[in-house]
Structure 1
């Protein structure tokens, strides 16, 4: 497994097109591999995420089973005449092997929190519809419901640092996680035979977690979490906890 960070030059016209379209970015990421891995849930896959640095510069992160070649992105949205290649690739498996139960890490996850609902008045057995969680409290609850199976637990905020007392319906800031950068997306696929529009809401979680199951967490970090993985969702990365 490999973890890659690519710097994007927002002065390039093509950069604005890619940054504004998860569909185009998905295609650009896949072109980094001669034979992209199949889009499957059972094995490691190509995951990607857009982050914005404090200076405002966007960075593209990619986790992949194979080592990517991003020469085409350098030519389109990078600095083609710079001495450095414009991206850095790390041997991710070596880092994953160091994860241990009980360790605490900072994390970032961009995901597509969804749930299934029926129309009001619909009878039991009526097909449900997948729809996005739109409020931070429901988005955090979505993540909390998946943390055990994903191999971690989000740490709790010490009482002395809590500012938002919780209720039965809203935990407030009980857990050390924040939700930000909520972006709705809608586009039409251009592949032959594709029908209808793709709609989803992408949000980013930043917080602190404790590892409860290292093997399950390794799977989460390499397989992704949630839906819309092809369009920049599902990638969780870790950083030393502050």
Structure 2
């Protein structure tokens, strides 16, 4: 991370949970859930925005859906015997983003690598990996 500098070209990979959270009025009008998973072009646009906020300028992008992260959430004080009473399901839609990018802000990028991007980090979403790449010709 200390070698990051503006203009450096990197390979990146991030399996993230690209979602949109529409406002209450939009949800009511279109009968949408609180969190809408994004696919295809909408997911790619989400990634471009996230990469930009993480100090990267995307040069190439390949995205593909992967299996969702699923689990159940229980209150902290729940005993094993009481778990059948709770049915809070966790579902994180996931897309893997791969490609090359140029570093625009090393500090933002360090923070993104250390903190993750987007939702579902506790379930392995948003973990950004980077590796050096040859500079484009």
Report TM bin, short chain: 0.7 to 0.9
Could you tell me which of 116, 124, 134 is aligned with 1:232?
124
1:187 offset after TM fit, Å? Answer: 2.5
Larger Rg over CA atoms: 1
Q: Which residue of 1 aligns with 2:69?
A: 185
Structure 1 stretches of 4+ moved >4 Å: none
SS of alignment partner, residue 119 of structure 1: helix
Contact 2:69-2:123 at 8 Å conserved across structures? no
String of CA shifts for 1:143-171, please: whole Å, max 9, x gaps. Answer: 1122222111101xxxxxxxxxxxxxxxx
C-alpha distance in 1, partners of 2:129/2:70? 26
Gaps of 5+ in 2: 79-85
1:108 offset after TM fit, Å? Answer: 0.5
Q: Which residue of 1 aligns with 2:82?
A: none
The normalised TM-score by structure 1 is: 0.46
Q: Which residue of 1 aligns with 2:56?
A: 152
C-alpha distance in 2, partners of 1:185/1:238? 22
SS of alignment partner, residue 225 of structure 1: coil
Could you tell me which of 18, 28, 42 is aligned with 1:138?
42
How well do the aligned residues superpose, as a CA RMSD in angstroms?
2.2
SS of alignment partner, residue 29 of structure 2: coil
Could you tell me which of 20, 25, 48 is aligned with 1:115?
20
Would you tell me which structure has more strand in proportion to its own residues? 2
Gaps of 5+ in 1: 1-95, 123-127, 156-175
Q: Which residue of 1 aligns with 2:104?
A: 212
- How many corresponding residue pairs? 122
1:137 offset after TM fit, Å? Answer: 1.0
SS of alignment partner, residue 226 of structure 1: coil
- Between 1 and 2, higher relative CO (CA 8 Å, sep ≥ 6) is seen in 2
The normalised TM-score by structure 2 is: 0.78
